[in-house]
Amino acid sequence: MYLNSCVIPIIKSPGDYQAYRISPNDTNRLAIIFDTASANTSLTCCVEIFDVGGQTPLNRHQGAVEMFFILSGEGIAMCDGKIVQIKAGDSLLVPPTGTHFIKNTGSTRLYMLTIMVPNEDFAELIRRGIPVELDEEDMAVLGRLDAWNKHAG
């Protein structure tokens, strides 16, 4: 029975990711890995990249859960007035309606895997932003400098 419902997985590499700044003055970028357009499911999964000192605006989601996994760097996360330190290897889960922000407090870029379920128009908000390129530092953190060199060359 399971064989009949098997789906070929979608595989993407960092060179395939489309990255955006939601607004021109934002100090973070989001590189979409999967979203409703590419995965035909109601989730958004991206790598969020914060410049030194960068942060998200204070925000909340009506019904979505948002999960962050810190890949590299350090910062703080605030949810409903509670502030915690975050660093590589940490993860946090923001419940629906949790008012939150993330800020890079380190001396290097902060990289996070960000997943929101359901999508709640997050991917559409990102895609309406300003397209940007991932650079060599981004690709090195994502572990695929070779893919970037091939894509750039």
pLDDT value of residue 15: 84
What digits encode the pLDDT tens for the residues 53-81?
A: 999 999 999 999 999 999 999 999 999 99
What digits encode the pLDDT tens for the residues 27-47?
A: 999 999 999 888 778 999 999
The answer on pLDDT for 6 being more than 60 is no
Domain count, the chain: 1
Which of 52, 29, 36 is CA-nearest to residue 109? 52
pLDDT value of residue 39: 78
Tell me whether residue 12 is in a domain.
no
CATH number of the domain where residue 126 is located: 2.60.120.10
Which of 34, 26, 14 is CA-nearest to residue 134? 14
What digits encode the pLDDT tens for the residues 102-122?
A: 999 999 999 999 999 999 999
Q: Look up residue 119 and give its amino acid.
A: N
What order do you get walking across the sheet with 28-34 strand by strand?
A: 91-94, 65-72, 110-117, 44-50, 28-34, 18-21, 130-132
pLDDT value of residue 8: 62
Range of the domain at 60: 17-152
Tell me whether residue 10 is in a domain.
no
pLDDT value of residue 89: 96
Tell me whether residue 4 is in a domain.
no
What digits encode the pLDDT tens for the residues 126-151?
A: 999 999 999 999 998 887 656 545 55
User: Please, which pLDDT band fits residue 1 given cuts at 50, 70 and 90?
Assistant: very low
pLDDT value of residue 116: 96
pLDDT value of residue 148: 46
